[in-house]
Structure 1
Amino acid sequence: MPYISAVQNISSNPDDATATAAPQYPIESVDNALKLLLLLGEQQEIRLTDASNYLAVASSTAHRVLAMLQYRGFVRQDAQTKAYGPGPALTGVAFSVIGRMNINQLGRPFLQELNDVLDETIHLGMLEGANVRFMDGIESRKAVRVASRLGKSLPAHVTSIGKAMLAELDSAELRRLYPNDVLPRVTDKSITDFSRLEKQLALTRSSGYATNREESEEGVASVSVAVPTSVPGLRLALSVSAPVNRLPAKAAKEAASILIPVAKRFGEALG
């Protein structure tokens, strides 16, 4: 049908002693290391001063904790910026946990619901650095439709699904992803400068949804909303894509009003 018409969650349960009670013999160094791992779940990178301030310890103490995490592969240090980011061991654990969450399996009913209501192509995407990976997709039943991008990866700034997730980042995180003012071009309508991207993301935050009109593919428009999750570092979004004539700019708000409650229920299902 046409669109124009159509950091940690700690239990407060006193019976859950494992979630509320501090250990009898706390080990401060272990606690500090775990705190930094949780911080990396919220930020793309951290600097030594960030770690020192966050832990309220001397820089030398923070450095020792980071050095051990780096030794075990849980963080890596950029040779030029000296900032610390997730290491292979941490990302390996994260993807293992995410894999066991069966995101696609949990998300499929919600994608199907949107596909049934909107009869356009629906996608589920995950933010991977400055790119978005399309994890699942259900195509429209119409003869002329947007093809599924399942398994593909695109620059996040040229897709509505990517912009919906980028809008969740703070200015420092965003700048770390885009250190240069000039952004890659995919089509003639792609955003190619950082300041313009910032303005679009500000609009996304205020409206609650992101749009894309031929920025990643000629003739294709899309609307997307972020999926709210309590998993640190996990950023997901849902989108609806259609030929531009079937998804005019004035219909974006209505499409978003259908996406938002479904994305909320999906996030609740993820826990």
Structure 2
Amino acid sequence: MLMATLDKTPDSVSSVLKVFGILQVLGEEQAIGVTELSQRVLMSKSTVYRFLQTMKTLGYVKQEGENDKYALTMKLFELGSKALQHVDLIRIADVQMRELSTLTRETLHLGAFEEDSIIYIHKIDSPYSLRMHSRIGRRNPLYSTAIGKVLLAWLDEREVRDILAAVDFRKFTANTLESVDQLIPVLAQVRERGYAEDGQEMEEGLLCIAVPVFDHFGTVVAGLSISWPMMRYDESKQAEYVAMLHSAARVISQQLGYADYPF
């Protein structure tokens, strides 16, 4: 079946299929030699050896002692664990986000780190026709979003600067921060009061408030936010909105194993 599939695919796709074929067999064996592995995946020994050396360099495969057998490292487990963490986070957060949606009738987002950006991993839309147009999987800058500020606020300043070192601070609106030096004092304020705002920094007429979600290590793994068109935002209720977000984020954090939510 594997060889029939490979015969009909472009070289780049064929290489990916070969890699996953090798990984699948490695996952079934504690350790295996090149000869047996090549027979199992129906490839030449030289091809299998070449792929194994690349995977070894990347840290996904190790060579067992002096017997020339190969085995998987824990790196794939680590990668899979990160994916499972997001699955658990989304499942847990969904309950709280739906309750917030009922209370506020506004758009709710859950966002996480994606390299030097945020990525929306869950969303519940407002029932209003005038609402924030975003989608799950979309990336946005860390420096100009409420979720991004929350994700950065509990990191050391050096980490923040490293993450944003190659980021071009694009000016989306007149309110957008223009440099990491402008951002650092804002992050200190976010950490002190426990929430962040995007005051029309990404889009004119749109305001967002976000709070942190902590995992069992006490690390901020996500930001939970509410977004409003400015015409529907009631500033006199801001403390109430923040309290609702904190209440939801506290429950999510507790279910992720963090009992000492600070707000």
TM-score (norm 1): 0.62
Aligned-pair CA distance for 1:95? 3.9
CA distance 1:202–1:90, change in 2 (3 Å) = farther
Shift of 1:90: 7.7
Which residue matches 1:261?
Answer: 247
Identity %: 27
2:259 is the alignment partner of 1:270: no
Q: 1:113 to 1:134 in 2, by over 3 A?
A: same
**Aligned residue number for residue 80 of structure 2:** 96
Conserved in 1, the CA contact under 8 Å of 2:212 and 2:220? no
Distance 1:129 1:135, change over 3 A: same
Q: Is 1:177 matched up with 2:177?
A: no
What are the Cα deviations for residues 63-89 of structure 1, in whole angstroms up to 9, with x where unaligned? xxxxxxx95538xxxxxxxxxxxxxx8
Q: Aligned partners of 1:175, 1:210: CA distance in 2, in Å?
A: 19
Query: 1:174 deviation in Å?
Result: 0.7
Which segments of 5 or more consecutive residues in structure 1 lack a partner in the other structure?
1-69, 75-88
Change (3 A) 1:125 1:248: same
CA contact (8 A) 2:214 2:220 kept: no
Query: Matches of 1:91 and 1:165 in 2, distance apart?
Result: 25
Q: For residue 253 of structure 2, what is the amino acid of its counterpart?
A: G
Q: Secondary structure at the match of 2:155?
A: coil
Structure-2 change in CA distance of 1:71 and 1:186 (3 Å): same
Paired with 1:252 and 1:195, the residues of 2 have a C-alpha distance of 27
SS in structure 2 of the partner of residue 254 of structure 1: helix
Number of residues paired by the alignment? 188
Instruction: Specify the alignment match of 1:153 in structure 2.
Output: 139
Q: Which residue of 2 aligns with 1:115?
A: 101
Distance 2:227 2:75 in 1: 30
Report Cα offsets for 1:15-49 as digits up to 9, x if no partner: xxxxxxxxxxxxxxxxxxxxxxxxxxxxxxxxxxx
Matches within 5 A, 1:33-182: 71=57, 73=59, 93-101=77-85, 102=87, 103-179=89-165
Distance, in Å, in 2 between the alignment partners of 1:151 and 1:223 is 20
Change over 3 Å in CA distance of 1:261–1:132 after alignment to 2? same
SS of 2:143's equivalent? helix
State which structure, 1 or 2, has the greater radius of gyration over its C-alpha atoms.
2
Quick one: distance in 2 between partners of 1:92 and 1:187? 41
Question: Does the CA-based 8 Å contact 2:177-2:201 persist in structure 1?
Answer: yes
Distance change >3 Å, CA 105–CA 157, structure 1 → 2: same
Distance 1:249 1:170 in 2: 31
Of 185, 191, 212, the match for 1:205: 191
Shift, 1:253, TM fit: 3.0
Farther off after superposition, 216-225 or 185-194: 185-194
Structure of greater relative contact order (alpha carbons < 8 Å, 6+ residues apart)? 1
Shift in Å, 1:183: 2.1
Counterpart CA distance in 2 for 1:230 and 1:156 is: 23
Give the match's secondary structure for 1:217.
coil
Report what 2:223 is aligned to: 237
Task: Indicate whether 1:223 and 2:239 are aligned.
Answer: no
